[in-house]
Amino acid sequence: MVRVALALVAGGAGLVVLLGYFLPELRAAQALLLRWGMILASAAVLVGILNLASVHLGKLRHREKNAPYSAVLIASLAATFVLGLLLKPGHPVLAAIINAIVVPAEGTFMALLSISLLSAGVRLLQRRLDLMSILFVASAIAVLLSSARVPSIETPIVDSAAVSWLTDVFSLSGARGILLGVSLGAIATGLRVLLGADRPYGDG
Amino acid sequence: MQILAALIAGAALLVGLAVWHRKRPAGLRRLRAWTSLNRAVDDAAGSGERLHLALGAGNLLHPEGAAGLTGLAVLRRLAARTARSRNATVATSGDAALHLLAVDSLRAGYGDAGVQEVFQPGTGRLAGIGAFPYAAGALPMLMDENVSIAVLAGRFGPEAALLSEAAERSDALVVGATDDLTGQAVTFASASESAIGEELFAAGAYLGQGPWHTASLTLQDTLRWLVVLFLLAGAAARLLGWAWLG
Amino acid sequence: MAQMACPVCGERNPDHHAYCRVCGSALHEKLPDAPSSVTEPAGPEPVIPQWLKDALAMSDQVSGEAKEMEGPGRQAGPVEQASASDRGRGEENLDWLRRLTQGAEPRAGDSVPPSPAEARGEGQAGEGSEAGRTETSSDQPTVLGKWLQRSRQTLPEDPASRSELGIEDASTVPDWIGDLRAKGVAAGTPESSSAEEWRRSEAGQAQGEANLGAPGPLGQDEELPEWLVRAMRGSEGTAPPPQSAQPGPASMEGLTAGKAGEVQESTRGFERDEAPQPARPLPTTTSTIEQGRVRREVRPPPPQTASEPAEDDSLPNIATGGLHSPEDAEHLFIDLPDWLSGSATASASSLDESSTTEPLEARPASLPSWLEGMRPDDAAELRTDLDLPTGGASGFSARETDPDRSSEDRLIDLEFLASLASGIEDRDNFPRPPQREAPAPPQRSPESPPATPVDAKVQRTEVPLLDQLLGESQTAAPLLRPRHPAAVRPLRWLIASALVVVTAGMLLNASQSPIVPAPASEPATQALDLLRSIADLSPLLIMAEYAPARAAELEMSATPLLQDLLARRHPRLALVSTSATGPLLAERLLEGAPAARGYQEGIDRVNLGYLPGGTLGISAFARGPLEAKPVDLTLQSSADAQPLENVTALSDFAALLLVTDSADLARAWIEQSTGLRGTAVLVVIASAQAAPLIQPYFQSGQIDGLVSGMQDGASLETRSSGTGSAKAYWNIYTLGMLLSAAVLMGAALWNVLRALQGRASGGAPGA
């Protein structure tokens, strides 16, 4: 009975938000539900952070592999949290943390990503030699060459008309097709959730 | 209002298809990613190997939340099939709300298998908040926890390449499925098997999640054909100068 | 060919297939049902695999026999004898089997094992049901238990009957074999017996990915191994095998429970007699035995030469089907499935290697995967996996190697293993094998029949077969396991080195060989022109919707435009973001524009901070910015902020500047603000990855300008003659792209040439 009630509440709230875009009478209820959703999303962030901390505390407690890194994570998490509470988010100390730690660390990941992607592209034909893989690599090479220029040469490597045709016709049309399919899938998934037929969480 | 009418029609069609598919299973075409995953999961469950399901960093309050919900359905199904394995299935996510639902889905999966008592909440983990922090947190899990199957089902961008590479170092089977275009390109190049486009949303049907998923897949196909017809009709109308249709 | 429909997709598949060829679902396994809309979850079920339950039940039943087996005079069973035939496999593999065979003291409340008919009915019922099973390990003679139970039965004393290799009638077929045949391929649940899982894994191994092939060895059309067939016939009064001088692992007869005369059907497996039995004549003519589906053509063994050691012919060599040479095994096992004939041939061939005078030792067996972790050298790994306290596993591992441990201790260990398998959640209270003293030597009951020793050589050769069978059941080869090539790491290092060298070289020579960027695109040019047209000191909203990973690219793309705008129009700035790090990244963005250095917080600019809720938050902000963000980052009221004077709606801003690396976020801002922007200019500064997907919005007029990545940023920098690093880094960027293109082209050519060469030489294409 509780499960049915929960499903009805969830579905009903979704319907109100959806219908609020079409029926002006439901705009106020929609706005209220949206505000509640924002508050819940913020609270979920806190719960998630607690879970993150508990997982790494467990690693520390059981002295698992890479436990020192977990200790660093927990220490930095606690320090940033306390500093944010005491100094307020706009404080220069927190800005310095972002500038000195967060941005360089994520930038490093991007750099590693470039190497990983290039390595994957190199191995793609080695692992799977078929028409799609060849087209994939060929298109990647074409896009790279279309964006690049040889030093001291004003003429681009690939003609701009060909570049625009490649990007606007081939790439964009393919992307739109995929996005259309993804959107249809999202619609079907949303309908499933709204109708209460698909609740992978919970006991339903 | 046309959109509302279309949504209502779509919902009615979904219900009808679900009722129909209860009696008649849908004819599915071969999707290599899910076919391989189906058989690999059976092997893993039988031999006690670990399965890692990465749900990505998709925000449920964004349109990408649909991919996250699909990942949750996959998680529940795989958790049920591997509930009796020696090494528990691990699910990681990069969004807080998604993480909460992932833990619940894991528990529900164990309940489906009738062994809810052995469920460990620690198997659902928030690896980080955001795409790259999530990748940074999930990498050690993929490399150090003897993962034999890594499923990337959710919203992934180019960070999927790092995850695939880490899983491949453990000689794991990597199945990548994302709704992000960049992620699809990356998983095509780096994962063992990849699902392109809306194939992500077909996961539930292929994993046997039930008639609703099969009906949803049929609805997708139906709507896609309708869109194709409308696009062709519009293009033809433009060519023929039928402005009222174009 | 018989076909069956896949339960998931409905595709018709051959009956002997284990997996659907379309969707890959298991055809014969009943998966946990997908939940309906409202269903009660299944009740708690034990996690112990069926085979372990059987072992536990069996251990309970043999507790009464355990005492008889203790003592120095105890004769070695087949396990001990067979172990001597393979020294190279170490001791530890057979420990679990040893513990099973040595049994334990009878515990209070142990039930009498039911008759085979009852057990058969219970076994079938137990395997057919999925839910609601409860542990009955202590009161059911399970599959393994019955089989081993019969191993204690004596062989028929009649030499004539013993000389016939086979059994007389179908009623002597072991129940467990009959049960498994009846179930065949079609039966099974996710919790079905280990035989089902074992069979599936065997099928997968045998046939590979393309064709999973026939069911495993326990399908309907299986034929029995010779040793099992002969043992099923049963005989009495066989000669006991020579006793081992060294105490070794208990024989498998130790497992068999039951009292004398309980099981009257024909014997099979290992049998023993206490009294010496007359030598059983070997078959002298080729005979055909038939039992059910078993049909064997058995040849007499070749005559022994003088150099060969005299073999004990008191019992047939059940490992090799009554034959005493490996050559005969090939003929004997023609009709057997591959997995079994291979095993038997291997075991028969081991005859040549084994010596009859070798002392008997515990022969290692393959452990289940989850038991592998209980090995001494894996104790630490097990602790990590199962999160065990540090004391328990090490204590257990020490016990494993102690051959003098009592049967009761072994029974306790079995229980311990069962509790491990059940996955106890409370790790801190994880059970540890209790230490108990060795029990008194068992007293043989006067009613029990005299124990019939089994021929040592027979047991020595047949137990490897059993071990291999059990080992194969535990090691299911995965279908798809990509191997990480060893050359990947050097390749990665090579690529990284090349990129670093190129970028570092360009950084050091930044002033030389400048690369001229292409002229700014039309959307970028339009964006610059529109922003230059807004009024002085008008409010400008900047939405920083990008991740820190792309801060470098977007700052280089946005700074020229921002610098030009701030220098010309000195607008009032409001910053907002839907990501947690966005507000601080927005501050960082402003720091890159020299013109923004004169801006003061609270006077010229205000940071509204984090906007939660994703698309919901954007929608709320678009409808009422001050209602959605009532306070700014410094927790001051937004309505009182000077930069937001006379701003109550989104349309009150002169321009909206969206800096993003996500096409979805751009779409959200564009769509949620449609109709609410009024005359405000919306310009999007996007990364090179997202820009192509935002292009249609510019083409449809939904946005007023689009700056695409570093290329447009460098072009705008050139056009506006502003300061910035976009042009400098553009050189490095474009050379990096050229290098990447070159690497990809080279690799593609190399792989294609290799593939062509492989095809030309008749090999496999590709790698």
Give residue C165's Cα distance to chain centre. 43
Angstrom distance (rounded) from CA C43 to CA A25: 46
CA distance B144 to C263: 52
List of chain A residues whose C-beta atoms are within 8 Å of the C-beta of residue C695: 168, 172
Give the one of C516, C551, C692 whose C-beta lies nearest to A167's C-beta. C692
Structure confidence at residue C189 (pLDDT) = 45
Torsion of CA C282, C283, C289, C295, to 10 degrees: 90
- Segment B147-156, tens digit of pLDDT: 999 999 999 9
Residues C335 and C212 in one domain: no
C467-482, pLDDT tens digit by residue? 766 665 555 444 555 5
Q: What 3-state DSSP class applies to C757?
A: helix
pLDDT in tens, B141-200: 898 888 999 999 999 999 999 999 999 888 899 999 999 999 999 999 999 999 998 899
On the question of pLDDT at A202 being above 90, the answer is no
Same domain, C83 and C112: yes
**pLDDT of C128 higher than 80:** no
Among all chains, which residue has been given the structure tokens 């795409």? B131
Who contacts C216 (Cβ-Cβ below 8 Å, separation ≥6)? Answer: C198, C199, C200, C201, C202, C203, C206, C337, C339
Which residues lie closer than 8 Å to C737 by C-beta, 6 or more apart? A144, A145, A147, A148
* The residue to which tokens 């999707």 are assigned: B31
Phi then psi for B3, rounded to 5 degrees?
-65, -40
Whether residues C133 and C95 fall in one domain: yes
Cα–Cα nearest to C17, from C147, C132, C185: C185
**Higher pLDDT residue, C76 or B228?**
B228
What are C606-642's pLDDT values in tens digits?
Answer: 999 999 888 888 988 998 999 889 899 888 899 999 9
pLDDT at position A195 is 82
Question: Could you tell me if residue C531 is inside a domain?
Answer: yes
Give the three-class secondary structure for C287.
strand
Section C404-417 average pLDDT: 55
ipTM summary value = 0.87
What are the domain boundaries of chain B?
A: 31-208, 210-246
Is A121 an interface residue toward B (CB < 8 Å)? Answer: yes
Above 80 in pLDDT, residue C558?
yes
Q: Which residues contact C750 (CB under 8 A, 6 or more apart)?
A: none
Average pLDDT, chain C: 64
Please tell me the predicted confidence (pLDDT) of residue B175: 95
Which chain B residues are closer than 8 Å to C25 by Cβ?
38, 206-208
CB A35 within 8 A of CB C620: yes
- Residue C766 CA: distances (Å) to CA of A104, C485, C486, C753: 39, 14, 17, 9
Q: What is the dihedral of CA C464, C466, C467, C469, to 10 degrees?
A: 120
pLDDT at residue C334 tops 60: no
Domain of residue C638, residue span: 522-724
pLDDT tens, position by position, C640-677? 999 999 999 999 999 999 999 999 999 999 999 999 99
* pLDDT score for A10: 84
Of B111, B179, B188, the CB nearest to A182: B179
| One domain, residues C166 and C295 | yes
The answer as to whether C405 is a domain residue is no
Q: Is C402 domain-assigned?
A: no
CATH of domain B31-208: 3.40.50
Q: Which DSSP state fits C729?
A: H
Instruction: Please identify among residues 166-225 of chain B the ones whose CB lies closer than 8 Å to any CB of chain A.
Output: 179, 181, 184-186, 188-190, 196-198, 200-202, 204, 212-213, 216-217, 219-220, 223-224
pTM, rounded to two decimals: 0.64
Q: Which amino acid is at A196?
A: G
Q: What does the longest C-alpha to C-alpha distance in chain C come to?
A: 117
pLDDT at B102: 93
Q: Which chains touch B (3 or more CB pairs under 8 A)?
A: A, C
- Of A44, A116, A121, nearest to B96 by CB-CB distance is A44
CB contact residues (below 8 A), chain B span 59-98, against chain C: 59-64, 77, 80-81, 83-84, 86-87
Q: What are phi and psi of C238, to 5 degrees?
A: -80, 160
Domain spans, chain A: 1-87, 89-127, 129-196
pLDDT tens by residue, C98-116: 555 554 444 444 444 444 4
Q: How many domains does chain C have?
A: 3
Average pLDDT over residues A141-165: 75
Q: How far is CA C263 from CA C2, C62, C259, C449, in A?
A: 39, 14, 8, 11
Q: What is the mean pLDDT of chain A?
A: 85
Q: Higher-confidence residue: A152 or C261?
A: A152
Neighbours of chain C (3+ CB pairs under 8 A): A, B
- Give the CATH number, domain containing residue C674: 3.40.50.2300
- B20 close to C (CB below 8 A): no
Query: Could A188 and B162 be called an inter-chain contact, meaning their C-beta atoms sit closer than 8 Å?
Result: no
**Residue C449 belongs to a domain:** yes
Say if residues A197 and B103 touch (Cβ distance below 8 Å). no
| Under 8 Å between Cβ of B205 and B217 | yes
Residue from C619, C677, C669 nearest A33 by CA = C619
Q: Which of C23, C43, C369 sits opposite B48 (nearest CB)?
A: C369
> Residue B97 in contact with residue A38, Cβ under 8 Å?
no
Q: Which residues of A touch C743 (CB under 8 A)?
A: 118, 121-122
Is residue C711 domain-shared with residue C635, that is, in the same domain? yes
Instruction: Give the pLDDT score at B152.
Output: 96
Q: Is C244 left (phi over 0), alpha (psi -120 to 50) or beta?
A: beta
Report the alpha-carbon distance of residue B198 to residue B229 in Å, rounded: 18
Nearest to A55 among B14, B73, B125 (CB): B125
Six-digit token string for B4: 């509302």
For position C178, what pLDDT does the model report? 53
Shortest Cα distance, chain B CAs vs residue C503, angstroms:
22
